[in-house]
Structure 1
Amino acid sequence: MRKWYKLLILTTKQTMYTNTISVIVHTSYQAHVWLLSPPCQPYTRQGLQKQSGDARAFSFLKILELMLQASRPPVMLFMENVVGFETSDTHTKMIEILEKAGFSTQEFILSPMQFGVPYSRPRYFCLAKRKPLSFQKQLHNNQLLWSPSPLLDNDADLESIETHGSQATSDKLLLSCEPICRFLDHSNHRELSFYDASSIQSEVALEKNEDPNEQVIESFNQYLVPSGLIDRWGSAMDIVYPDSRRCCCFTKSYYRYVKGTGSLLAPFEAERMGKAHSLKEQKLRYFTPREVANLHSFPKDFQFPQHIGLRQRYALLGNSLSVAVVAPLLRYLFTEPS
């Protein structure tokens, strides 16, 4: 029989006061499952790595401490953060509190690439179940796994495909991913050049008696990387092609900056354009928000409200999660042993 659970989704912030957190934990929701995504800045490699000494870690730890006092604590917990959290003192305190509260835990570091998506975005995940509930595969209790095999049926095939390991393992992981062209706006990009507007039809433009070619060119021009940025930062850019099987993680600063914020696309096929051509000749562009959403495995009918600007769309996507990774994790969390 399918069970339904109340969910409490908490994206903890420094500005949440202790009394507000107390009200949420003690009285407001009485949720069966808590989904937690606390601030990642205390644990990122680029940050100061103050861990629990960072004020932004306070609310998360406070929520966990108050859980011990709750009249009806959650029966399940899902927590996500950046790689690096697993070695922090905040992680140590979290595990101590969960053990004291009677939870069994299973931890993962997973990337969309392990699910066939050409997107390198490794993240730390903690799944917890309060006794007497138990995981379907209890042999992984109190372990940190770098493989998605417990989540999937074909364990043997994916056991060796991990995000850390030998070069052979990395090569095998790349081969398991779809090419980036499958996630672009135009699925028939081999026949349709990114700049061949004459072959693009726009029903909306036709209804408005506008030239669809001009409309497409204008809309796509905003994604071109300015030549000045190529001159300055070209050597630091991560450039991928439609036939590539990996792109870098998109951050909330994508489109505002080009260094270290995500991959750029050279939209012409490598065999047609030649990877030895200069960067300016390759007509570099940013991935569109729709394409970034595709790489996050968002549904095809997902759309932003019209009032959300372009930079804000990139920022929201940069702070989001991969559906390809989170969906099997939640399915595994909710599954009871047979």
Structure 2
Amino acid sequence: MEEGFCKREGEPWRVLEFYSGIGGMRYSIMRARVSATMVEAFDINDKANDVYEFNFGHRPYQGNIENLTAAELDKFGAHAWLLSPPCQPYTRQGLQKDSSDARASSFLKILELISHTLHPPLMLFVENVVGFETSDTHKQMMEILVKTGFVTQEYILSPLQFGVPYSRPRYFCLAKRRPSSFQDPHFNNQLLWTPRPLLGHYDSTTMVEHDQSNAKWENLIQSCEPVENFLELKTSSNQSEMESDFFDESSVSALGCEALEKKAEGNESCISFLDQYIVPLSLIERWGSAMGILTSCCIANGILDYYRYVKGTGSLLATVQPERKGKVSSLKEQGLRYFTPREVANLHSFPEDFHFPQHISLRQQYALLGNSLSAAVVAPLLRYLFTEPS
């Protein structure tokens, strides 16, 4: 392994985007205002690549990245690698097979190639679910990074800490290869639960925080924007209860995406835009106790990924508020609906010009958004990573 490609003053950073999905990393680096050229993106999901190409005009490499060689990576001349590998090996709803899961092997293969490249990257950025930091895959990653001369700073952060009313903590690893260093090396090789170093606050007495409770983050609600600012249409306390008679349990899947699509297609003349997102009454009766309900003044939780499960898929929005103070409405009276894909994109802090191609189904939109990330969180991390010490 030799020195990485040197960056000339004024030259944009050259970046490789692994597991590019629908472009969350690219939107984040744009939001961070980092001068960068995305040299290549890689993703095996053809639908994700359709969305990426639709928005950026470039189709990611769709082959198996396990087949990439060190020589092929050298040809890109990249200064930085951004990686958001599959989270299923580490999620509570997955099999938790960790590094023995086939979906973890491509990530480890890419990391192992670092030592075989003639021009290794100067920086790495890794994103995954909370739980990854205690995994065997994480242990192997850190061993590889130490062996190849990288120093790291790790974070577990939530959009709540950046003013977004969305509780979704994620793990992040920032790595720089020596002699490069972070703006404040005091936090090297530590796991932080605070974004303060990213914001230029380097008080070492308060930086390393290990309070992992949701209550700590939810205390930030007062500083967050209201959820209604992220909605396509504002909710109203006087709004009449929406009807959803065109739903029936026999035609809905776990959370009804197929029914939403079919019913919306067949009832365009008689339903409003948001009617297609109303939660079927049959699902409320059956799964109401497992549903996370919020009003326009609360925070959204989870991944807002409605296409597979009832439990753990995020919040539902109550569109009808009690008319009288102290009145308790039943779930059936609250006009529950799903967040629309555009609203989920808003909570991810994606720009207004992000769109899905027409052929991407509602189910696919939710799945792709559920696998994406918060640009509001990742942008400050990338800005911090790409900033050289003064």
TM (normalized to structure 1)?
A: 0.84
Q: What SS does the corresponding residue of 2:314 show, helix, strand or coil?
A: coil
Partner of 1:56: 103
2:82 is aligned to: 35
SS in 1 for 2:82: strand
Secondary structure of residue in 2 paired with 1:313: helix
Q: Determine the structure 1 residue equivalent to 2:117.
A: 70
**2:301 match: secondary structure:** coil
Once residues 273 and 315 of structure 1 are traced to their aligned partners in structure 2, the CA distance between those partners, rounded to angstroms, is: 38
* 2:202 corresponds to 1:149: no
Q: What residue in structure 2 maps to residue 250 of structure 1?
A: 303
Supply the AA of the counterpart residue of 1:48.
L
Aligned to 2:73: 25
Distance, in Å, in 2 between the alignment partners of 1:291 and 1:275 is: 28
Which residue is 1:200 aligned to?
none
Which residue does the alignment assign to 2:262? none
The one of 274, 278, 287 equivalent to 1:224 is 278
| Residue pair 1:120, 1:249 contacting (<8 A) in 2 also | yes
For residues 317-336 of structure 1, what are the structure 2 equivalents within 5 Å?
317-336=369-388
Structure 1 position 266 matched with structure 2 position 318: yes
Aligned mates of 1:95, 1:166 — CA distance in 2: 25
CA RMSD for the aligned pairs?
Answer: 2.9
Does 2:312 match 1:312?
no
Q: Please list the CA deviations of residues 167-190 of structure 1 after superposition, one character each: whole Å capped at 9, or x if unmatched.
A: 873453222222211111125x44
Letter in 2 for 1:301: D
Number of residue equivalences: 316
Runs of 5+ consecutive residues of structure 1 not aligned to the other structure: 197-213
CA distance in 1, matches of 2:181, 2:103: 32
> Which structure 2 residues correspond to residues 131-210 of structure 1 after superposition, within 5 A?
131-153=178-200, 164-165=211-212, 169-187=216-234, 189-190=235-236, 193=239
TM-score by length of structure 2 reads 0.74
**One-letter amino acid of the structure 2 residue matched with residue 248 of structure 1:** N
Q: Does the CA contact (< 8 Å) of 2:241 and 2:335 recur in 1?
A: no
Amino acid at match of 1:261: T
SS in 2 for 1:139: helix
Paired with 2:211 and 2:154, the residues of 1 have a C-alpha distance of 15
Structure 2 distance, partners of 1:134, 1:226, is 53
Amino acid at match of 1:322: S
Contact 1:41–1:47 (Cα < 8 Å) also in 2: yes
Distance 1:161 1:141 in 2: 11
Answer yes or no: is 1:241 the counterpart of 2:288. Answer: no
Query: Which of the pair has the greater relative contact order for Cα pairs under 8 Å at 6+ separation?
Result: 2
Partner of residue 5 from structure 1, selected from 13, 22, 29: 13
Task: Give the letter for the 1:242 counterpart.
Answer: S
The SS at the match of 1:280 is helix
1:119/1:248 contact within 8 Å kept: yes
Assess if the C-alpha contact under 8 Å between 2:322 and 2:328 holds in 1: no
In the alignment, structure 2 segments of 5+ residues that lack a partner are 1-8, 20-42, 46-62, 243-267
Which is worse superposed, 263-272 or 323-332?
263-272
Contact 2:322/2:329 (<8 A) preserved: no
Question: Cα gap change, 1:256/1:262 in structure 2, threshold over 3 Å: closer, same or farther?
Answer: same
SS in 1 for 2:229: helix
List 4+ stretches of structure 1 deviating above 6 A: 12-15, 160-163
